[in-house]
Amino acid sequence: MDQPHAIISVRNLIKNYADFNAVKGISFDVYNHEIFGLLGPNGAGKTTTLEIIETLREKTSGEIYVDGLSVDKDANAIKRIIGVQLQAAGYYPNLNLVELLELFAGLYGVKVKPMEMLEKVNLQDKAKAKYKALSGGQKQRFSIATTLLNSPKIIFLDEPTTGLDPQARRNLWDLISEIRDQGTTIVLTTHYMDEAEQLCDRVAFVESGKIIALDSPDNLIDQLISSGFERKKEVKKANLEDVFINLTGQQWREG
Amino acid sequence: MNKPYNHTTATLALAKASFRSIMRSPSAVVFTLAFPLIFILVFGFLGGGGVKVDLAVAPGSDVQNPVMQALENTAVIRLIKDKNNDEIQNELEKGHYAGVINIQKSGIEKPEYLANVSYSAASIDKGNILKSVLNNLMYTLNSKDLKPAVAEIRESTVQGRTYRTIDFILPGQLGFSLLSTGVFGTAFVFFNLRQTLVIKRFFATPVRRSSIILGEGLARIGFALLGAVFIIVVGHFFFNFTLIHGVTTVLNMLILSIIGLVVFMGFGFVVSGIAKSESTIPPISNIITLPQFLLSGTFFSIDNFPSWLQPISKALPLTYLNDAMRLIAFEGAGLWDVRQQILIMLIWGIGIYALAVKVFKWE
């Protein structure tokens, strides 16, 4: 395999809060055009790491480059080439989706047609709806639409599928894969291992502010198996989620 | 990324979004437009009438006589006819009528008529007004053909602009509208944008903090000016609110409105910074707005306040906004003439923004 081009490089990242050390010397690269997953329990430091790369949070020490730009010196230039979806972020009150996209277009200084953006995430029917009135999956798709306005090189998704039903999750996976296929690098966090296994090209396990493993899902699984691990229960060819999807149908049921 | 980032575009996009949001927010519309308008309507209709006392005419009283004619022409007195004795007695006991009059032909040459008047003990002050009006009226009637023995009163009234209730009330309401829009609106918006992480999401775009403040400020100023124009137009065309130099006066009032609003928004920034939760915003905001509502000459002239209260009144920024508004609207002062009031507001502004910079929180 050729040495892939690293679009994000994080070296010895440390973040100390007053009373605890959230990130304790993390180093990793994110390659161009990949879907990179940060996995780990709550409080492991995933969101902190993400927000430092997004230039939303100050780091204590370490070096971070995003597409060759330093987070210390070129924060504004970085903001122009990334798209950010925050965990649980709200949107400006009393505005409909088209108006919100117009606002973000102005904030990014780009000219886009809001309806085209909504079509990308299949929300054209909700153009006049308020963000609050959307279902969980629709909210996440809209958030992703706002990250795409500036045609970013990288988008960051913080727990994009938390709280969604299986159909909405799978639907979002398809959307995320499509965005990657169009040439955008994606960094996401998740608690769901099935999601990481299906979606991510490479994953990093974060535990108590440290990376304890980093590789492709396949390699990680193979390593575990080669160490002699065996599941207690024999794996069947389908799981309960497959049953659920098979019974309730693939189509979206949101409203 | 070929063209450079334009901060003006970002600021205007924010101003537009914020303006749309304000226009759809019920509380903003109620505070800025409905409240002041209701007060103006109430005082507009109340004002101008002056004091009126009700005088009942007893059944069976003669009505074709000079006394009756003179009473009909007295603006202060409202004659109540067509009531029977029981009804009149009832209203007199409650003090609703100041008195009852019964005029009869005397049957002799002089005086030709006898006027029996009973006053209500339940309404002494109205009774006294009635008494003096009647005395005055009788004196005029009786002395019509006589030369005065001692001295004759020659009365005249200096002609001036009529100072109506609306001329006092409207500037006060305008000032209060600006105060509530500035304090409540700004406090709620920035608190909510912070709590719901809207501002954090903004920070993930290249927008500058100053653009966020400026965009919000522009939207609020635009909305408040729209409200001010609306209030002035309604006051002028429906209640004869005095605008000495017409459009120039309105423009001066609007410039003054902007100065006032910017100062009051400083209070809003402070409140949004110190409020711990959304439910603590109204009480904190009320601590700022209510005393000014009552003590800054919104409803009553501060000259009427007891002397110990006046220094407090004279320390509040709204007092100077109200004062300057009235001078501009009614006396035709220019902005330079009210520079002292503007200066005091600006001093408040500097103080409050210095505090806002310390307590305001972005996240």
In a domain, B271, yes or no: yes
In a domain, B158, yes or no: no
| Same domain assignment for residues B122 and B245 | no
| Same domain assignment for residues B25 and B121 | no
The answer to whether the CB atoms of B204 and A104 lie below 8 A apart is no
Nearest to A30 by CA among A49, A16, A44, A45: A49
pLDDT > 90? residue B26: no
pLDDT band at B49 (very low <50, low <70, confident <90, very high): low
pLDDT band at B93 (very low <50, low <70, confident <90, very high): confident
| Same domain assignment for residues B236 and B310 | yes
Averaged pLDDT, B6-34: 90
Q: Which residue shows structure tokens 């019974």?
A: A247
The answer to whether the CB atoms of A106 and B12 lie below 8 A apart is yes
Averaged pLDDT, B49-67: 80
CB-based contacts of A95, cutoff 8 Å, min separation 6: A103, A130, A131, B17, B20, B21
Of B4 and B221, the structure prediction assigns the larger pLDDT to B221
Å from B281 to nearest chain A CA? 18
Q: Is A10 exposed, middle or buried (0-12, 13-18, 19+ CB in 10 A)?
A: buried
Kindly give the confidence (pLDDT) of every residue in chain A, 255 residues in length, as a single tens digit, with 9 standing for 90 and above: 456 789 999 999 999 998 889 999 999 999 999 999 999 988 889 999 999 999 999 999 999 999 999 999 999 999 999 999 998 888 999 999 999 999 999 999 999 999 999 999 999 999 999 999 999 999 999 999 999 999 999 999 999 998 888 888 999 999 999 999 999 999 999 989 999 999 999 999 999 999 999 999 999 999 998 988 888 777 788 888 888 888 887 665 544
pLDDT > 70? residue B175: yes
In a domain, B255, yes or no: yes
| pLDDT per position as a tens digit, B257-292 | 999 999 999 999 999 999 988 899 999 999 999 888
Q: Contacts of residue B24 in chain A, CB cutoff 8 Å?
A: 94
A112 touches chain B (CB under 8 A): no
Å from A151 to nearest chain B CA? 9
Q: Are A155 and A186 in contact (CB under 8 A)?
A: yes
Q: Contacts of residue A99 in chain B, CB cutoff 8 Å?
A: 17, 20
Tell me how many domains chain B contains. 2
In a domain, B147, yes or no: no
Peptide bond preceding A217: is omega within 30 degrees of 0, i.e. cis?
no
The answer to whether the CB atoms of A80 and B12 lie below 8 A apart is no
In a domain, B75, yes or no: yes
| Same domain assignment for residues B349 and B268 | yes
Question: Which of B14, B203, B216 should we substitute to test contact with A (largest number of A Cβ atoms within 10 Å)?
Answer: B203
pLDDT > 70? residue B23: yes
pLDDT score for B160: 66
| Same domain assignment for residues B40 and B58 | no
In a domain, B148, yes or no: no
What CATH number is attached to the domain comprising B86? 3.40.190
| Same domain assignment for residues B175 and B288 | yes
pLDDT band at B1 (very low <50, low <70, confident <90, very high): very low
pLDDT score for A255: 41
Q: Rounded to an integer, what distance in angstroms lies between the CA atom of residue B88 and that of residue B91?
A: 5
In a domain, B257, yes or no: yes
A6-92+152-248 under CATH 1.10.3720.10, yes or no: no
pTM: 0.80
| pLDDT per position as a tens digit, B143-162 | 777 777 777 777 776 666 67
Å from B199 to nearest chain A CA? 9
Q: Rounded to an integer, what distance in angstroms lies between the CA atom of residue B207 and that of residue B216?
A: 13
| pLDDT per position as a tens digit, B298-330 | 877 888 788 888 888 888 999 999 999 989 988
In a domain, B123, yes or no: yes
Å from A76 to nearest chain B CA? 5
Mean pLDDT of chain B: 86
Q: Are B127 and B98 in contact (CB under 8 A)?
A: yes
A42 touches chain B (CB under 8 A): no
CB-based contacts of B293, cutoff 8 Å, min separation 6: B176, B179, B318
Amino acid found at A42:
N
How long is chain B? 363
Q: Which domain holds residue B268?
A: 11-46+164-359
| Same domain assignment for residues B198 and B328 | yes
Complex confidence, ipTM: 0.90
Nearest CA in chain B to A143: B201
